[in-house]
Amino acid sequence: MDGRNEKAPLLPTTAEGKQEGSLCGRIWVESKKLWHIVGPATFSRVTLYGMSIVTQAFAGHLGDLELASFSIANTVVLGFSYGLILGMASALETLCGQAFGAKRYRMLGIYLQRSWIVLLIVSALMSPFFVFATPILEAVGQPREIAERAGVMCLWMLPIHFSYAIQFPLQRFLLCQLRTPVIAYVSAAAFLIHVVMSWVVVYWLDLGIAGASCVLNFSWWISPLWLLAYTLWRCPLTWPGFSMEALFGLWEFVKLSVASGVMICLENWYYRVLILLTGNLKNAQVAIDALSICMSISGWEMMIPLAFFAATGVRVSNELGAGNGKGAKFATIVSAATSSAIGLLFWLLIIVFHDKFPLFFTTSPVIVDEAEKLAILLAFTILLNSIQPVLSGVAIGSGWQALVAYVNIGCYYFIGLPLGILLGWFFSLGVEGIWTGMIGGTVIQTLILVYITIRCDWDKEAIDAGVRVSN
């Protein structure tokens, strides 16, 4: 039984994807489909990422050293894990999205189990980076005192690392079925619990940053456990039960997961490398604190483009799986235009409130002044990041992960990073120079992805999706 005759929950009919009616009407219909995914996805991502922001804010008000140490542990070490696991889990957006569009519902549960197997193995292989974080951070030039404290925090954060391997596949499994509200509800509950428990542990019980890290662990595990319970009991069409079938075809799944992982983590790690490079500058603690504030704001706002990334991947893969290439193209255009407009709004907010946002994290005048100097770079990073994830979402939905991975390697690590190092050290522009060079790499990458998307043969992509699903 492959589920071809089963009734689809919330699946738009093929007729809805036909290019009929006025342009405004088509935009309205596509926007409703898009926001059905983007709205809850944005809310869930903002609240989940917000848990780290809340903990970072508590750390910042405990002291500048605590802020720098937590920022290194959370942004660099845990951030590397986040990027790789998130990227590998994104393979489900290609497979589950196209299978759902083709009405092969049972395969969604099989793909989910394959993803768990692969990601848990990868998580175990990455664990030594958390255990030996202190010597690794010292080896890449971080100040000893910051590296030691960050290493301790990394040990506390190891359970979060494993929660990613369960949570991210579950989110994509549910997103591809358009079961988005449950993800938002669970994330909201986890966030509220985290805020209350953080206040109690840090201020009432006076357990400091170690206590805050423990709360962050607990809060991150609430979401995957609740989503797992929902999947087991409320997804009868797409959850076939634990099956030995998940063990077959693992190699093909691994190849797509690795391609997705490389594509996404190269993007995710790019600006995290900026934190490491800043640790090698003079007065590193102040520079890291200021930069980590900007990266936290950027990362929090980035949850909105990442929601468009997920929604675009789902919409494109659903349409391609249903054999509707023109519908996939139109979904891409609407998503890119909407995300860009939102990015422009946040660009304006950062420009206007450039001297206010650092106060959420610290009251240190030196750090506030340093963060204010970086506001322009932060604003343009946010603007660029509103466009690029949508184009990556198209790649995920279409199965172009390997191609985009090569683009990312070239633009980020052979252009942007060397240019940033050149401006930062050889031209003595410090963190502003490093960041400016890296923005240059992002600009080139975005232009290349725009070109690839414009040149895409969508009818051919629909045929290829049908072949992929039938296999």
pLDDT at 8: 40
- The answer to whether 19 and 29 are in contact (CB under 8 A) is no
CA distance to 60, 98, 212, 225, 467, per residue, from 84 (Å): 27, 22, 25, 21, 27
pLDDT at 9: 42
Decide if pLDDT at 383 tops 50: yes
Concatenate the DSSP letters of all residues of 137-192 into one string. HHHTT--HHHHHHHHHHHHHHHHHHHHHHHHHHHHHHHHTTT-HHHHHHHHHHHHH
- What is residue 74's DSSP assignment? I
Decide if pLDDT at 15 tops 60: no
CA distance to 38, 100, 179, 318, 389, per residue, from 10 (Å): 15, 10, 8, 12, 25
| Average pLDDT over every residue of 353-381 | 85
Decide if pLDDT at 274 tops 90: no
Question: Cα angle vertex 80, ends 78, 83, to 5°?
Answer: 110
- Of 30-34, 140-144, 175-179, minimum mean pLDDT range: 140-144
> pTM of the full predicted structure?
0.76
Give the model confidence (pLDDT) of 139-167 as tens digits: 877 788 888 888 888 888 899 999 999 99
CA distance to 38, 208, 446, per residue, from 175 (Å): 10, 37, 25
- Is residue 3 helix, strand or coil? coil
pLDDT at 460: 85
- Of 251-260, 262-271, 446-455, minimum mean pLDDT range: 262-271
Quote the CA–CA distance of 471 and 6 in Å, as a whole number.
Answer: 19
Quote the CA–CA distance of 412 and 410 in Å, as a whole number.
Answer: 6
Quote the CA–CA distance of 63 and 74 in Å, as a whole number.
Answer: 16
Decide if pLDDT at 407 tops 50: yes
pLDDT at 427: 86
Most confident range (mean pLDDT) of 370-384, 388-402, 457-471 is 370-384
pLDDT at 65: 75
- Of 166-170, 296-300, 334-338, 456-460, minimum mean pLDDT range: 296-300
- Of 29-33, 199-203, 207-211, 375-379, minimum mean pLDDT range: 207-211
Confidence of residue 45 (pLDDT cuts 50, 70, 90): confident
Quote the CA–CA distance of 252 and 241 in Å, as a whole number.
Answer: 22
Average pLDDT of the chain is 84
- Of 116-125, 129-138, 218-227, 258-267, minimum mean pLDDT range: 258-267
Distance of CA 184 to the CA centre of its chain: 16
Decide if pLDDT at 6 tops 80: no
Q: Which residue has the higher pLDDT, 76 or 407?
A: 407
Domain ranges of the chain: 18-470
- The answer to whether 186 and 227 are in contact (CB under 8 A) is yes
Compute the radius of gyration of the chain from its Cα atoms: 22
| Average pLDDT over every residue of 41-53 | 84
Burial class (CB in 10 A: 0-12, 13-18, 19+), 244: exposed
Decide if pLDDT at 72 tops 70: yes
Q: Which residue has the higher pLDDT, 8 or 83?
A: 83
Most confident range (mean pLDDT) of 59-73, 118-132, 141-155, 282-296 is 118-132
Burial class (CB in 10 A: 0-12, 13-18, 19+), 152: middle
Quote the CA–CA distance of 75 and 273 in Å, as a whole number.
Answer: 9
Give the model confidence (pLDDT) of 123-145 as tens digits: 999 999 999 999 988 887 778 88
State the DSSP H helix or E strand holding residue 353, giving kind and residue range, or none if neither: none
pLDDT at 340: 93
- The answer to whether 432 and 373 are in contact (CB under 8 A) is yes
Give the count of beta carbons closer than 10 Å to the beta carbon of residue 424: 24
Quote the CA–CA distance of 418 and 353 in Å, as a whole number.
Answer: 31
Concatenate the DSSP letters of all residues of 209-254 into one string. HHHHHHHHHHHHHHHHHHHHHHHHHH-TTT---S-GGGGTTHHHHH
- Of 39-48, 128-137, 206-215, minimum mean pLDDT range: 206-215
Confidence of residue 470 (pLDDT cuts 50, 70, 90): low
CA distance to 52, 236, 274, 357, per residue, from 374 (Å): 21, 50, 13, 12
pLDDT at 13: 40
Decide if pLDDT at 10 tops 60: no
Phi, psi of 163 (to 5 degrees): -65, -30
- Is residue 412 helix, strand or coil? helix
